[in-house]
Amino acid sequence: MKTPYLPYLTLWLILAVAIPVIAQPQPLTSTQIDALVQRTLTTFDVPGIAVAVVKDGQVVHSKGYGVRSLRNGGKVDENTLFGIASNSKAFTAAALGMLMDEGKLRWDDKVIDYVPEFRMYAPYVTDAFTLRDLLTHRSGLGLGAGDLMFWPDSSNFTMPDLLHNLHYLKPISGFRTKYDYDNLLYMVAGEVIERVSGKSWEEFVENRMMQPLNMANSAGSWKRVANKTNAIDAHARVDGTVRVIRRDSLRFGQSAGGINSSVADMSKWVIAQLNDGKYGPDGSKKLFSKAVHDEMWTPQTIIPVSPTPAPPYNTHFAAYGLGWFLSDVAGLKQVTHTGGLSGMVTQVTLLPERKLGIIVFTNQESGAAFSAITNTIKDSYLGLVATDWVGKYGDREKKGRVEADSITRAIWTDIDNARKTSKPISFSEYVGTYHDQWLGNVVLSEKGGKWWFQSVRSPKLTGEVFHYKNNTFVVKWNLRSMNADAYLTFAVDENLKPVSITMKPISPLTDFSYDFQDLDLQRVKGM
């Protein structure tokens, strides 16, 4: 699930350009934003984008651009629905905060007090794990650990499965010592909300947040969207061409990334955030208290940045709060988050001291596109000399694709050459069932003269297997939009019989939620 790239904004992406500050801000006009977005659509090959800007409690720009779908057309407007993915995490943090205002829980309550079956790998971590820990990406698990239980979305895992399987995931760092973005623990946070409130996470968010804010078109999951006529299709680059792909639909764990919304609706959420949780014509109503709001925007987990702050933003610190990324830009506090599902990525950025909010939703997978728009608008409000972010990010994205393509192309060239010049190997020694404690069984088989990989519990993880070098193979997934082909490396016993498999993505552009590196596939005896 795209977010650290998520976070996806890798910080080096926004810290690297030297630009002097000018005295007076010159905010972009709507006409200038129109031109900016139209250029972005073309540069990054994005079919459709929606942008909203909030300033001083008012929506000063809200508009859609391009088309909802390359298949069916339809113009994007301010009410077009996008999957906001990990921007849902701020709603989850706020929901816990609302229950806290009601005296039903505290940030530092133990998770096992609410979900007794919750278990992490180490017993002491289980015993110490708090609600705050669920929200702050400091569990000790690696980036995206266990995401293959829901990503891609064909799996048959359930929330009880996730709770059971968490204790199989081995940490890569000490508890509370290091930032590594995760999704599963936000799903557990949603489970806490359900057990304490007596409502599903989706119902809680819709009834307690969306309805009061009059986010009339939004829903806690794609399945719960009442009217899907004005919604985007997902798009991704497949074999070099952007095309419509199947939309993700999470079967469970919506609290990590399930909300569908529009920039018009999300503007209302942003205004409430910038107003300490208050809303309504006179600000007399509130979703949550200022104390809860302040805690969500307080650094909880440090995120490393360059020790030498660089213009234009001169960022000295970065951290994760509760559902939000926090940093300083040009001397001001920035609160932001990104989100990504297959075929769509989104960003919400707030500068509280300027009462400024910028929302950018896209129906393609280019994080560079939303970054270019956000940074250009942001710089105009900060009074920075204009930077061609579209050009800079466009060149960087193109370079990244070229480098990634060269890596994968070289591997397939080696495979093709080996097939032509080397003696064919027998796959019969490798055929069988391999078991991972949390993903379950994977079956390697030989059919019709081809070798196949099939995950039993996640059918989209099906692909043809090719010999690469020595005991390393490559699996080429049938679903090409995944961009997640992977190495399969076999370990052998003293008789040179395969006994286990480890995996690793090939392309540096593979989404982190394909956490193949966390699998430990052991051959099932008797095969």
CA 267 – CA 277 distance, rounded (Å)? 13
Q: Would you call 64 exposed, middle or buried from its count of C-beta atoms within 10 A (0-12, 13-18, 19+)?
A: buried
Q: For 170-180, what is each residue's pLDDT tens digit?
A: 999 999 999 99
| Three-state secondary-structure class, residue 387 | coil
In the structure, what pLDDT confidence band is assigned to residue 1 with cuts at 50, 70 and 90? low
Q: Which residue has the tokens 């400091």?
A: 138
CA 336 – CA 7 distance, rounded (Å)? 9
Q: Would you call 210 exposed, middle or buried from its count of C-beta atoms within 10 A (0-12, 13-18, 19+)?
A: buried
The one-character DSSP state at 365 is: S
Closest C-alpha among 249, 368, 304, 388 to residue 9? 368
pLDDT at 108 over 80: yes
Where residue 163 falls (left for φ over 0; alpha for ψ -120 to 50; beta otherwise) is: alpha
Mean pLDDT of 46-71: 98
pLDDT at 5 over 70: no
Q: How many helices (H) and strands (E) does the chain have?
A: 12, 23
In percent, the amount of the chain with pLDDT more than 90 equals: 88
CA 44 – CA 347 distance, rounded (Å)? 16
pLDDT value of residue 20 = 43
Mean pLDDT of 493-503: 95
Closest C-alpha among 120, 119, 149, 181 to residue 516? 149
Q: Do residues 271 and 53 touch, judged by C-beta distance below 8 A? A: no
Number of Cβ within 10 Å of residue 38's Cβ equals 13
pLDDT at 139 over 50: yes
Name the CATH code of domain 12-140+175-387 (choices 3.30.420.40, 3.40.50.720, 3.40.710.10, 3.40.50.1370): 3.40.710.10
Q: Do residues 1 and 85 touch, judged by C-beta distance below 8 A? A: yes
Residues in the chain: 527
Please state the domain extents for the chain. Answer: 12-140+175-387, 425-523
Q: Which residues pair with 451 in a beta bridge?
A: 446, 465
CA 424 – CA 35 distance, rounded (Å)? 57
In the structure, what pLDDT confidence band is assigned to residue 56 with cuts at 50, 70 and 90? very high
Angle (CA) 140-144-149 rounded to 5° is 115
Q: For 337-352, what is each residue's pLDDT tens digit?
A: 999 999 999 999 999 9
Q: For 400-448, what is each residue's pLDDT tens digit?
A: 999 999 999 999 999 999 888 878 888 999 999 999 999 999 999 999 8
Closest C-alpha among 334, 373, 338, 378 to residue 83? 338
For residue 312, whether the previous peptide bond is cis, meaning omega lies within 30 degrees of 0, is yes
Average pLDDT, the chain: 94
The one-character DSSP state at 139 is: S
At 41, the amino acid letter reads L
pLDDT value of residue 526 = 53
- The CATH code for residues 425-523 is 2.40.128.50
pLDDT at 22 over 80: no
Helix-helix angle 30-44:367-382, to 10 degrees: 150
CA 311 – CA 413 distance, rounded (Å)? 42
pLDDT value of residue 17 = 39
In percent, the amount of the chain with pLDDT more than 70 equals: 95
pLDDT value of residue 309 = 87
What tokens does 381 get? 């409000």
pLDDT value of residue 23 = 53
Q: Do residues 483 and 507 touch, judged by C-beta distance below 8 A? A: yes
pTM: 0.94
pLDDT value of residue 310 = 85
- Listed in sequence order, the DSSP H helices in 10-158 are 12-15, 30-44, 89-101, 123-128, 131-134
pLDDT at 92 over 60: yes
Q: For 274-308, what is each residue's pLDDT tens digit?
A: 999 999 988 899 999 999 999 999 999 999 999 88
In the structure, what pLDDT confidence band is assigned to residue 321 with cuts at 50, 70 and 90? very high
Rg (CA), the chain: 23
> Would you list the DSSP string of 225-273?
-S--TTBPPEEEEETTEEEEEPPP--SS-GGGT--EE-HHHHHHHHHHH
pLDDT value of residue 9 = 36
What tokens does 62 get? 């809200």
Where residue 300 falls (left for φ over 0; alpha for ψ -120 to 50; beta otherwise) is: alpha
pLDDT value of residue 282 = 87
Q: For 10-20, what is each residue's pLDDT tens digit?
A: 333 333 334 44
Mean pLDDT of 309-338: 96
Q: For 280-289, what is each residue's pLDDT tens digit?
A: 988 899 999 9
pLDDT at 473 over 60: yes
pLDDT at 527 over 60: no
CA–chain centroid gap for 74, Å, is 26
CA 254 – CA 190 distance, rounded (Å)? 8
At 500, the amino acid letter reads S
